[in-house]
Structure 1
Amino acid sequence: MKLIPKTYYRMDRDKVSCREFKIINVPVNIELDTVEQAIRFLLKGKTFYLRHLSKYTVDKKSLCKDIFFTASSSYVCNLLKQTWSITIGQEVFRLAPAYFKKSDVEHHNKHIEKFTGFSSVHDLAYIKDYLQDVTNLKNVYRRTDDNNIYLEFESESDLFNACSSNIFIDKLKIKGIPRGTNWTDRDAFLESRCSKRRNPLPATPTCATASNRIPFFSSREKQVNSQNDLDKEILTHPWSPISKIRLLC
């Protein structure tokens, strides 16, 4: 039997291992069975363990709680570390290692882009499902003070790729811009940060012009010149070995 070391972290009065994860701010009206189905779908049937209901703490102000579960293997653990959100029903919730503090979660807010084009009838699950494959988004959420949709990305390059062009879903035209940038400045931002520059075409080879010049030819010119030299050789010396080979071919 091989012993595998585990790292434990202290969270208030509890101790959590490196294989424990949490779904943050889940409303109390969402049944635990629904959460279990969402985790099972995310892990594609891999084994996990949910923490007992008696150990959950409910925030009385927001009526939300964090749901904890444990990964059964290193493979599942590594998969979850690369996953920032989980879809439960029609909503999307933040997913993080159980030992993450508020500052660790806020670090994921480094590369955020706001999108417009969706309406209020489009739920977050619908938006994430359609945009995840084409934008490499990590999380999606709404704010109560505007009508934009906010997407979190792992890197700046993923953010720039997502806003470099418009996205069309059915009859919707979706466009994005980094958070903190005004929509009126979008064209200027795309021109300066997201424009794709084409590499210049290579210059046509030319001959040198000095008295001791050595001519350089392209591969096409070399092929034509070689053919002309061969034809001259055949006409001048029809019985040479090269001419015989040429005639046999």
Structure 2
Amino acid sequence: MTVYFTVKDEYARQLLKNVWSIDIENYIYHLGPAHFKANDFDERKKHRGEFIGFGKEHTAAKALEITAPFNPKSAFKQSPDKIIVEFQNEADLFNACDKNYHFSDFNIKGYPLGYNWPQRDRAISKLKKLQFDKSNHTPDKSINRLTRNSGKP
């Protein structure tokens, strides 16, 4: 269903150009200028993240609420525990996915779609562990094994 509305105030019209969706009673409605074509809406889908860990009672509005510091533009529920959130740019997407969100008994984690984010998380964990081991002056066991196996006394 499509609804057209007109805004006469130029300032309000300019503001609305940057609004991709609105929340009305926990339902997300997409907005777009009347001249938008399908490819314009496709362009808005470039920077999406999947946020996993929601309960079946949560709506897309909840995902917009928790990612609000990172300027989310729209969202939709894909499955009972997953909500897809759209961002205007890659930086906002990455910043939102870099955080864990905790509320009530829920722990939400975001992953940018089209990127190998879990591999990135594993690499960062390994680097943090290496830095922690070095700061505690704990020798790296893999180096010790190499030394023992080298045949040198």
Q: Higher Cα Rg: structure 1 or 2? A: 1
Structure 1: gaps spanning 5 or more residues: 1-64, 196-249
Structure 2: gaps spanning 5 or more residues: 129-153
CA-to-aligned-CA distance 1:74-94 (integer Å, 9 cap, x gap): 111111011110112221021
CA-to-aligned-CA distance 1:185-214 (integer Å, 9 cap, x gap): 35147x3xxx9xxxxxxxxxxxxxxxxxxx
C-alpha separation in 2, matches of 1:188 and 1:78 = 43
* Number of positions where the alignment pairs a residue of Structure 1 with one of Structure 2: 126
C-alpha separation in 2, matches of 1:89 and 1:80 = 19
Q: Does 1:156 align with 2:90?
A: yes
C-alpha separation in 2, matches of 1:165 and 1:129 = 14
* Equivalent in 36, 41, 65 of residue 129 of structure 1: 65
C-alpha separation in 2, matches of 1:80 and 1:167 = 29
* Equivalent in 169, 176, 185 of residue 110 of structure 2: 176
Q: How does 1:21-170 map to 2 (within 5 A)?
A: 65-132=1-68, 134-143=69-78, 147-170=81-104
TM-score (norm 2): 0.72
CA contact 1:177–1:186 (8 Å) conserved in 2: no
Alignment partner of 1:128: what SS? Answer: helix
Q: Residue 145 of structure 2 aligns with which residue? A: none
* Amino acid paired to 1:177: Y
TM-score (norm 1): 0.46
Alignment partner of 2:4: what SS? Answer: strand
Identity %: 36
**Residue 184 of structure 1, CA deviation:** 4.5
Distance 1:127 1:159, change over 3 A: closer
Q: CA RMSD in A?
A: 2.4
**Residue 96 of structure 1, CA deviation:** 0.6
**Residue 117 of structure 1, CA deviation:** 1.4
CA-to-aligned-CA distance 1:7-61 (integer Å, 9 cap, x gap): xxxxxxxxxxxxxxxxxxxxxxxxxxxxxxxxxxxxxxxxxxxxxxxxxxxxxxx
Q: How does 1:209-224 map to 2 (within 5 A)?
A: none
Alignment partner of 2:114: what SS? Answer: coil
